[in-house]
Amino acid sequence: MGGEYLTFVTDLSAQQTIAKEKTVLTFRKSLPPVLKQVFDYNSNSVDDEYVKLFPKHFQGKALENLVSKMNKCLQNFIINGKYYNEEWMTVGLRTFVESIICPASFVSIFGEYSSSRSDKMTEVERNILKFTDLFPSLIRGYPISILKGATACRQYLWKVLSKQEISGRKNVNGVVKETISLHELYGESDVLPKRLLSFLTATQVNSVPSAIWLLYFLHKHPEANKVAREEIERVLKESKESTSKDVKIEVTNEDLKKMTVLDSIINESFRLHLAPSMFRIATEDYFVEVAELGRTYKIRKNDKVLLWVQMNQMDPDIFEQPEVFQFDRFLNEDGSRKKDFYKNGRLMKCAFQPFGTGLSKCPGRYFAVNELKQLAITTLRFFDIELVNPQAEIKMDKNRIGLGALYPATDIKIRIRRKADC
């Protein structure tokens, strides 16, 4: 392909071996062209230090604080949004989801503008959505200059992510603050907005379409909707009494962990709409064994390797009737999370990896699942939602195949109204 050798790895056990390989098949070495093309910076040793910041800020106590922050933001953007209305309205599901999840996620991580600057937030949101729309074209190598409005949009977001503008916002997440210090330490302050734009993009590109599909499946399948509501009500009832005056519904990280039915619905939705590819580059000749075929394949030094995980998600030998949405596919009979999947009697540890595997595993995965659960909880509690045409077959937009979450091909129409008692 384009004068380079690319090996597609579709065999599951070979994928597993490759994902674990740390020295010969590197993930970081495959990134620089993408970072330069899309975000206009050259990867260097700062990236190694930068990725080490994530576990500290997206796990444990920090994750608990993030859940509480996200909760406030989601409810704030819902209550102050134009769909919080007792009259039925018809709107595109994508339009509705973007108006909540995009600003709530931005504010939770990159901080909030003072209320007098809320029109500024609308402008930030518009530019984030435009940039995520442009992302597939940029990553495929289209020069930014030929994409309408792209240069101005990227420059606008660089300004939003400059140290000066970040300092003017409140409640900025620790990962952003430490990223600023890291750039100062390495004398790379001019690269800060560029590296932060790649992070901002990672927080949005998969979360927004995943949120659309989650709400779609929850309202397409009445049984999934019913069991999800029952679980939410049960867990929140058992949870400690609300102490916060800032939010109508209080949800903690502990509550979210108990919601295994929601986990299963989210995973089943991921299984149907995620189409990522995971790249590696061989720094030496490498031999990979495909046990099922009894063959060993050589990957030459500098060859690219691509793990194609969507094939596993849609493999009928692993997931029976893979094209059908089954809300309880990821639940064991006792209601616990189902993690083990088999192919021809053999346990397939890598059968389902929505957040990647090995070295490049998504550092935002716990936050990502939490924000989806929180969106489901708040929308189910605050709104009545109906699909305008529940029987319509919804196709996927293939534009992002290989990049992650696919969008629906059209903006699915919903009817929405605020519940009378909310």
- Binding residues (CB under 6 A) for ligand HEM: these are 51, 58, 199, 202-203, 206-207, 210, 274, 276, 278-279, 354-356, 360, 362-364, 367-368, 404-405
Let me know the angle formed at the C-alpha of 376 by 373 and 382, rounded to the nearest 5 degrees: 135
Instruction: Choose between 354 and 408: whose C-beta lies nearer to ligand HEM.
Output: 354
Between the alpha carbon of residue 8 and those of residues 4, 181, 306, the distances in Å are 13, 39, 5
Task: Provide the β-strand partners of residue 413.
Answer: 92
Whether residue 362 is annotated as binding a ligand: the answer is yes
Residue of minimal Cβ distance to ligand HEM: 364
Minimum distance from residue 417 beta carbon to ligand HEM (Å): 28
Task: Provide the β-strand partners of residue 91.
Answer: 414
Between the alpha carbon of residue 371 and those of residues 74, 368, 376, the distances in Å are 9, 5, 9
Q: Report the b/e string of 178-189 with b at 16+ CB within 10 A.
A: bbbebbeeeeee
Instruction: Choose between 75 and 207: whose C-beta lies nearer to ligand HEM.
Output: 207
Alpha-carbon gap, residue 373 to 240, rounded angstroms: 18
Minimum distance from residue 86 beta carbon to ligand HEM (Å): 32
Helix axes of 207-220 and 93-110: crossing angle, nearest 10 degrees: 140
Instruction: Choose between 160 and 236: whose C-beta lies nearer to ligand HEM.
Output: 160
Minimum distance from residue 277 beta carbon to ligand HEM (Å): 7
To which residue do tokens 């995971």 refer?
278
Minimum distance from residue 266 beta carbon to ligand HEM (Å): 8
Tokens of 207: 């979360």
Tokens of 48: 């190694």
Instruction: Choose between 101 and 134: whose C-beta lies nearer to ligand HEM.
Output: 101
Phi, psi of 54, deg, nearest 5: -65, -50
The answer to whether 192 and 182 have CB atoms below 8 angstroms apart is no
Instruction: Choose between 236 and 282: whose C-beta lies nearer to ligand HEM.
Output: 282
Minimum distance from residue 216 beta carbon to ligand HEM (Å): 14
Instruction: Choose between 99 and 418: whose C-beta lies nearer to ligand HEM.
Output: 99
Q: What single-letter amino acid sits at 393?
A: E
Minimum distance from residue 200 beta carbon to ligand HEM (Å): 9
Task: Point out the annotated binding site for heme.
Answer: 362
Mark the binding-site residues, compressed into ranges. Answer: 362
